[in-house]
């Protein structure tokens, strides 16, 4: 059995493990919320540590906290940011909707660690989690601020770089595959020819637009709620506190955060978080389309479409020897499905802005950060292990084009839609190609036939005309 100690808060005495840096309020939260094994990710704890560090610096500059106490809090908060104290942040995600339990978890850990730091320096100074670490703050403005800081920072550090890499690789494949003509498909049926490079240009554009939407949504995260304290009025905080702390956060993250234009909106609503979640869902939808198309185009190797050659990364079956599956695409598809589900939770959370405070912030930020992290990791692996080594089967692409009945589309301006449709039907019924049927009927000269049924010509704008 671990040794115990007693900690006290306004509700009385609580028993805490002797080596734990948290205190009574954290202990109550652990006791009250034994719901799941879900905890806030490193990115969110970093954001809270950063807020507490910059708050201590600011309160010292404003003469509101004694220098030695502020210095100890700053050092302790630095350790929180580095991840050195992560084992002490153990409050469940499913807690009070304001995130007060986690804010106090951080306040208690920083306060107790700061006391240890001072003790090692031969000082014995009382440091209070509320009176010192949380000075000028409330959970109601700290947690919304940490949400925005953590999400914006993770987008910059992880997801946007991963998407940038994927977009560049897709552009490379666009250029590499640009001379390869394949059959297009609409409604899962043969359509007119398209260059494989054109297909990948569409993929690349999807990723470009997904990034643009994320960056647009990210702008809403740049306004921080800090300074509003309990309900947005700023009670118990210095007028210069928020702007100074936010400047420090901006410098530390290299992201231009600003104080909220309206603190009542910033704390009562979480519309910016709902918007970034929607942009993440939109990104997932785009990535799903890309991954799904690529795995279908690589189906086979002999009885599928087989126009793409997917890199083999692992055996595909425990019973069928030699089988290789599109596992990298399947992995990303599952990531995208999770992100779509996460967005539903975030949307419901956004509906819970009751009066002056949203009360589903912990689950909202958990799901958004999970979406960012999953997409960043999923895209990185997909790019490296599938897109980069991806190859095309040019011979297969050519074969399928020649067999397609959609080749008759180019004939319609020359011989009429109805006549072209009849040729397509005859080709289907007899098992011949469009070229063979037209040649047999002697409708066009050889020169005309070669010109009109040239698949590459069909991948450009233009109307075929009879050559005279």
Q: Among residues 180, 187, 198, 189, which one has the least CA distance to residue 399?
A: 180
Q: Among residues 392, 374, 378, 380, which one has the least CA distance to residue 311?
A: 392
Catalytic residue among 119, 179, 256, 317: 317
* Separation CA 186–CA 414 (nearest Å): 23
* Separation CA 106–CA 5 (nearest Å): 19
The yes-or-no answer on residue 187 being catalytic is: yes
Name the DSSP letter for residue 145.
H
* Separation CA 310–CA 429 (nearest Å): 34
Nearest-5° Cα angle at 124, 118 to 130: 80
Residue 14: beta bridge partners? 7
Decide: 90 and 20 in contact? Cβ < 8 Å: no
The yes-or-no answer on residue 318 being catalytic is: no
* Separation CA 290–CA 389 (nearest Å): 16
Q: Where are the alpha helices (DSSP H) in 33-138?
A: 42-61, 67-82, 100-120
Catalytic residue among 18, 124, 187, 460: 187
> Which residue matches tokens 């994320």?
214
For 44, how many CA atoms within 13 A lie in the half-sphere containing its CB? 28
Residue 5: beta bridge partners? 16
* Torsions phi, psi for 184 (to 5 deg): -85, 165
* Separation CA 120–CA 96 (nearest Å): 35
Q: Could you give the residue numbers annotated as active site?
A: 187, 317
């Amino acid at each position: 059995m671990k040794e115990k100690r007693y900690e006290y808060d306004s509700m009385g005495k609580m028993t805490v493990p002797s080596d734990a840096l948290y205190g009574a309020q954290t202990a109550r939260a652990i006791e009250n919320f034994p719901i799941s094994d879900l905890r806030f990710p490193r990115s969110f704890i970093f954001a809270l540590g950063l807020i507490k560090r910059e708050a201590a610096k600011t309160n010292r500059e404003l003469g509101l906290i004694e220098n030695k106490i502020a210095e100890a809090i700053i050092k302790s908060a630095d350790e929180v940011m580095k991840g050195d104290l992560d084992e002490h942040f153990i409050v469940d995600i499913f807690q009070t909707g304001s995130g007060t339990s986690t804010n106090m978890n951080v306040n208690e850990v920083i306060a107790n660690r700061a006391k240890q730091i001072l003790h090692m320096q031969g000082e014995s100074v009382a440091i209070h989690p509320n009176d010192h670490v949380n000075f000028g703050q409330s959970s109601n403005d700290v947690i919304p601020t940490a949400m925005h800081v953590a999400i914006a920072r993770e987008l910059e550090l992880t997801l946007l770089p991963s998407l940038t890499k994927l977009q560049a690789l897709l552009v490379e494949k666009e250029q590499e595959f640009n001379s390869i003509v394949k059959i297009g498909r609409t409604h899962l049926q043969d359509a007119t020819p398209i260059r494989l490079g054109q297909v990948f240009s569409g993929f690349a554009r999807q990723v470009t637009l997904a990034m643009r939407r994320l960056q647009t949504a990210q702008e809403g995260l740049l306004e921080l709620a800090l300074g509003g304290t309990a309900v947005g009025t700023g009670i118990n905080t210095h007028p210069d506190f928020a702007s100074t702390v936010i400047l420090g956060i901006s410098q530390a993250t290299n992201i231009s955060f600003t104080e909220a234009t309206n603190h009542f909106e910033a704390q009562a609503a979480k519309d910016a978080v709902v918007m970034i979640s929607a942009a993440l869902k939109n990104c997932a939808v785009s990535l799903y389309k890309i991954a799904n198309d690529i795995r279908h185009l690589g189906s086979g190797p002999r009885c599928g479409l087989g126009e793409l050659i997917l890199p083999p990364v692992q055996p595909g079956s425990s019973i069928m020897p030699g089988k290789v599956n599109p596992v990298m695409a399947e992995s990303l598809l599952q990531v995208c499905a999770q992100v779509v589900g996460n967005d539903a939770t975030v949307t419901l959370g956004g509906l819970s802005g009751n009066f002056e405070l949203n009360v589903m912030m912990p689950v909202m930020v958990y799901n958004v950060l999970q979406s960012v992290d999953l997409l960043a990791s999923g895209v990185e692996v997909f790019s490296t292990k599938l897109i980069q080594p991806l190859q095309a089967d040019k011979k297969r692409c050519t074969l399928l084009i020649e067999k397609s009945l959609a080749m008759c589309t180019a004939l319609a301006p020359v011989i009429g839609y109805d006549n072209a449709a009849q040729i397509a039907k005859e080709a289907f019924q007899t098992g011949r190609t469009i070229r063979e049927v037209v040649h047999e009927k002697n409708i066009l000269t050889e020169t005309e036939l070669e010109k009109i049924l040239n698949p590459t010509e069909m991948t450009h704008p233009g109307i075929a005309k009879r050559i005279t």
